[in-house]
Chain A
Amino acid sequence: MKEIMPETAKYEPHTVYIRPSKGLSSLNLSDLWIYRELIYFMVWRDIKVKYKQTLLGMAWAVIQPVMTMLVFTFLFDKVAKLPTDNIPYPIFSFTALLPWGLFVTALNQGSRSLVAHNNMVTKIYFPRLILPMSSVFAGLVDFAIAFVILVGLMIYYRFVPAWSLVWTLPLFLLLAIITALGVALWLSAINVQYRDVNQALPFLTQFWLFATPVAYSASVISAKWQILYSLNPMAGVVNGFRWALLGTGNGPDITLWVSVGISILIFISGLFYFRSMERTFADTI
């Protein structure tokens, strides 16, 4: 009996064409897929290296939001006595500090990622999108650690959230990530050419904090300004977190959809801007 030999699968290398790209270059997401392991390694490295040679190590991921919460509690609850929709202020502010912390870390690390890794950018090829992306994802670990603290706080205050948070919270988390990534794409690409971004970041972060209902409740904004207010996508994220975890506010309404729209707009435009600038990164960085 003749056995049929399986034909040896011959590996056929694919051909890459290198030419000057014109106009809006394609997103080339297939390359991103090929290099997916690099995203994993970059995130893993960022996490691993972040707290190396520190005395307190991972505890910093707890100390930072907790200290901010304590300061906020003193200033805005004890001194200013801001209304919190009848929620204990520590939980009220911590719920907002979670996504805010994620956003700020992602914004700062992501925007500086290309310049910080300029030796990689000028020496080897890989999809540059990986750098801001992995900076943003690395922030998720700090988020997860801080989330444990929130659970602790809720137990302490005997606060029982609605079950719906199982699916609503991930969606708002996704919105926070998309917003952070969108802004980081814009700023990291601009930063390659104009280091002004480095100077502007601390100011931008501070300004953005005041424009977002982290320390105060969004309900203090009068109704006619709500739509304008929601142009800040982080307002939608923070309100969403409070709604999902604490049940405050109206839940998804027109202001949320405005925030979502703006967020997606920033993300998509950031993606295209990044890609169109990508070809000059190695030359201008």
Chain B
Amino acid sequence: MTREHGNSFYGPLDDPAADAGHLDHPPRVGFFTDTSVCIGCKACEVACKEWNDVPEDGLGLLGMSFDNTGMLGASSWRHVAFIEQQRPLGGQDAGLSALPTGPSVTDAQEEVVADALRGTERGGGELGTAPVDLGFPSFDLPGAATGAETRTDFRWLMSSDVCKHCTHAGCLDVCPTGALFRTEFSTVVVQQDICNGCGYCVSGCPYGVIDRRPDDGRAWKCTLCYDRLRGGLEPACAKACPTDSIQFGVLDELRERADRRLEQLHGAGVAEARLYGRDPDDGVGGDGAFFLLLDEPEVYGLPPDPVVPTRDLPDMWRYAGVAASALLAAAAAVFVGGGGRR
């Protein structure tokens, strides 16, 4: 285990599973989602729900292009975003950047969208199309253009979002019950037999991924199909994905693959292609699920610079160290003493 300038709560961390006590563990696995080949079919959303018995998450039409899921949440562990862009690339803001990414129980989801709609010029038609910028509508007056010619630069981006399984997972680090844990695969999983629904994790996630279900109160999110991994199977979403936009594998290999793909796209003139969550030096120590995007992260509803909220925890611990040590020592003394050793 190397920690050049990182630690258990922040910075690069080569082996999160070992850091979490898994000796002799399998390599870290994750997702590389190449959004440049996503066809927006949503097979990932359905395959995830079928495998994990995730309930239906609301039957409302959101009007955000073909996206009727809205965002990740307790009952949507995969979410395909659709972004319609009328302009050629470069500084394009898809209008979704103003939307928060969670929490996402159905009511909140609809409220968020409704709020966004009220503030737009074309009743929301431009959502995912153009900047939400009241002063500069992005289209000409009716009849001034005949569409076909003027929309040759039009593009429609699709991207399947998922829990990032961060190297430093805010949800996990703030969980007081041990419900959230780091698996031997370095993924982050909520254990439903332990979760008591306190909800600390919801505010601990810098991506707004994890959420509580209104009916049972517990927190739910992508497990990266922990049960399937234990049986040597790839996660349901990656298996279903018709175009291999969602690729599952050993994280190191995925990163290499992603680097090659990026190089290939840059070579092909797709200068705007970039990796998101690939960098171990970022605010969460790199993501276990990272992405190739064709625009700024905000365009896809992703935070541009996520930082784990426990970044400063070691410092805080240092200040509180004496008290904490005393408490732990006392606890250990009581229980170890009481249990005895054989």
Whether A and B are associated in the same complex: the answer reads no
